[in-house]
């Protein structure tokens, strides 16, 4: 079977290291943006600093679970 012209990498190929690092950083930035909302909610709820950390941690856990 011929390789499609728009396909950059095949199943067995690995992208260059630099592209993988940039893609990983992009993923981190996109996920970090979604953590702004729990921070705003925690601040507006006047939660103490310890509870804010727990609230954001639970939000990160929920993002990880929802990824699966």
Q: What is the pLDDT of residues 22-34, one digit of tens each?
A: 999 998 898 888 8
pLDDT at 33 (0 to 100) = 87
pTM above 0.75, yes or no: no
Measured distance CA(19)–CA(21) in Å, rounded: 5
- Of the pLDDT bands very low, low, confident and very high (cuts 50, 70, 90), residue 1 is low
All structural domains of the chain with their residue ranges: 25-67
DSSP 9: S
Question: pLDDT tens digit string along 9-24?
Answer: 888 888 899 999 999 9
Query: Average per-residue pLDDT in the chain?
Result: 89
Give me the pLDDT at residue 3, please: 77
Residue 37 tokens read as 């909302």
């Amino acid at each position: 079977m011929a390789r499609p012209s728009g396909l950059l990498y095949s199943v067995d190929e690995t992208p260059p290291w630099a592209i993988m690092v940039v893609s990983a950083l992009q993923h981190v930035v996109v996920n970090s943006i979604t953590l702004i909302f729990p921070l705003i909610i925690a601040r507006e709820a006047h939660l103490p600093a310890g509870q804010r950390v727990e609230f954001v941690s639970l939000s990160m856990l929920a993002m990880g679970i929802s990824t699966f």
